[in-house]
Structure 1
């Protein structure tokens, strides 16, 4: 008999732990009890026992529970006030900002460890401002720039303060590194879509690494496609490599959008530049957009979960999402923030959502009819 499928989630606002258990062959448990550690449930199916790990300890007046598929258990108040929980729930800054990356670091393909930027090639790393900075300039300034006819130019600060990649300087965004082409190596370039910027691939294993940013005279190397070589830190003579998952990087971007827009719902669309509001075709001009997309709702941006395939407590973003298939459906969403991804990354993102949904017990996979439930692992 296979182990039961389970998903447990801390609900921090109401200080409870939600538990959902599904026997994969339909068998009903004969008993359910709270483990003495209060960090797990012990589920018995006749003579066989399975353990359901919980994201936090729980407070329960009884060690015996009535067999059921779902539970709401009170999270331990002592644990929620502890340093251990504070460390798990505290905001995490960008793990690869300019203060962390040094000149002795290298950038390598995450799939095959081929050097993309060699140690010592970049002499200085600097953090980029938010991509929304030009919009904010328009709000902050009471005297906007005027053109030669004396008319206000509005939000046209990008031409005044255009960010340009510099030789031997690495510009660091929360999601990518902006570098000069000549500072990179082992990269091939391909045009993957008529509406997309040129894509950079690893010459060794053909994994997409980023895109050419013509406006900035450089290449955006996406952090989720890279490992960071830690220079002088070695293990058995080899450079130690630091890396994170696509899910962790993308959930961080969703968190950034929530913090900076005050919205929780976004439209993820294919066919444009990575994490930008404009196509990077050199002009910033948008092209006609199709109707395909994913309408995603960031329901809980910071929670702790445990699940069948990963029983250790994991920070996660709980999301609901809908697949959008026509322009009419897109228009029906009204005024909503859009996030654009190249087709290859968009397909990967959809697959990540579907895998998260499939890992949930059946009764958790949908909500309110047409919303699918999922989650993204976060830093």
Structure 2
């Protein structure tokens, strides 16, 4: 049976389908509809149905080369996991034990404008070119959660800790099982999203939880969009780092085992930086998260 891998590159508007093993040039490659095509290599072999990672026009030409390319597709942005809207009507629970940390609708949830919003405020000024810069620009105030409002970032939820969240010298922990939830941030708790889940909704919707890899990817993507930097050091203070170079920050793919389109990044990674290369933006993650990411990258690499 022929296996395939299809990826959608939004910047160049192309879907590339790679099939293997292929003993000879495909005899027939055709679109069935906007999201499916088929490949036939020999008359005595069955047709291989390919699920595409995005919809394409029915009249799009299929170009046969070493890879099949389908053009004229529209980009789709990668979603930020668990935004403020996903918390509406749901309790916030510990992902490890299910202990309720915040009751449903006990606090209003607001999305932060950006992880680095205060940094960008220096550039959001209207002034004439001949105005002097003798005085530094005024820094904006700090956004902070309140007793009736929590702030939702790309990878964290900032809350004034209730009794269900215990604050220790090392940070916030679950009041039920003691699992670490995130660092302290002044008088607030900066709760990692991968350490919590959105509990069952009033309509019976199932709890929602996403793995750390999705939040780490979202953090890197937000930094790429803000700084146009593609090299990162995912570090554990005092315990080493994983160095990542993002080649393609936003793509979608399908495969023989993944029929539903999924967002992904194409990266190079190593346990040490290239000699003389110091241009890596550092991000501090818990050791368990960095180890999980390193193991996942190794698994993905072995599948190539």
TM-score normalised by length of structure 2: 0.75
Which ranges in structure 2 are unaligned for 5 or more consecutive residues?
A: 126-132
CA distance in 1, matches of 2:11, 2:108: 43
Number of the residue aligned with 2:182? 211
Confirm or deny that 1:198 pairs with 2:171.
Answer: yes
CA distance in 2, matches of 1:29, 1:188: 62
Residue from 112, 123, 129 that aligns with 2:107: 123
Number of the residue aligned with 1:71? 66
Q: CA deviation at 1:262?
A: 1.5
CA distance in 2, matches of 1:43, 1:108: 51
Number of the residue aligned with 1:285? none
List aligned pairs for 1:6-155, cutoff 5 A: 6-23=4-21, 29=23, 32=26, 33-34=28-29, 37=32, 39-42=37-40, 51-56=49-54, 59-60=61-62, 71-77=66-72, 80=73, 86=74, 89-91=75-77, 94=80, 96-102=82-88, 104-110=89-95, 112-120=97-105, 122-128=106-112, 130-136=114-120, 142=133, 143-144=135-136
Change (3 A) 1:242 1:44: farther
Asked if structure 2 preserves the Cα contact closer than 8 Å seen for 1:8 and 1:20, the reply is yes
Confirm or deny that 1:167 pairs with 2:135.
Answer: no
Confirm or deny that 1:243 pairs with 2:225.
Answer: no
CA distance in 2, matches of 1:233, 1:43: 49
CA distance in 1, matches of 2:172, 2:212: 18
Q: CA deviation at 1:266?
A: 1.4
Secondary structure in 2 aligned to 1:144?
A: coil
TM-score normalised by length of structure 1: 0.62
Residue from 219, 236, 250 that aligns with 1:302: 250
CA distance in 2, matches of 1:35, 1:245: 37
CA distance in 2, matches of 1:12, 1:317: 12
CA distance in 2, matches of 1:202, 1:349: 27
Asked if structure 2 preserves the Cα contact closer than 8 Å seen for 1:117 and 1:183, the reply is no
Q: CA deviation at 1:119?
A: 2.3
Q: CA deviation at 1:311?
A: 2.2
Asked if structure 2 preserves the Cα contact closer than 8 Å seen for 1:211 and 1:220, the reply is yes
Number of the residue aligned with 1:279? none
Q: CA deviation at 1:316?
A: 2.0
Asked if structure 2 preserves the Cα contact closer than 8 Å seen for 1:43 and 1:51, the reply is no
Number of the residue aligned with 2:236? 270
Q: CA deviation at 1:54?
A: 3.7
Number of the residue aligned with 2:297? 353
Number of the residue aligned with 1:369? none
List aligned pairs for 1:290-369, cutoff 5 A: 292-324=240-272, 329=273, 332-360=276-304
Secondary structure in 2 aligned to 1:71?
A: coil
Secondary structure in 1 aligned to 2:219?
A: helix
Which ranges in structure 1 are unaligned for 5 or more consecutive residues?
A: 81-85, 146-154, 192-196, 272-288, 361-379
Asked if structure 2 preserves the Cα contact closer than 8 Å seen for 1:164 and 1:216, the reply is no
- In the alignment of these two chains, the number of paired residues is 288
Residue from 256, 267, 284 that aligns with 2:222: 256
Asked if structure 1 preserves the Cα contact closer than 8 Å seen for 2:18 and 2:68, the reply is no
CA distance in 2, matches of 1:311, 1:93: 19
Secondary structure in 1 aligned to 2:224?
A: helix
Change (3 A) 1:101 1:55: closer
Number of the residue aligned with 1:233? 203
**Aligned residues: CA RMSD:** 3.7
CA distance in 2, matches of 1:321, 1:4: 29
Deviations 1:251-281 (A, max 9, x none): 221110001112111111113xxxxxxxxxx
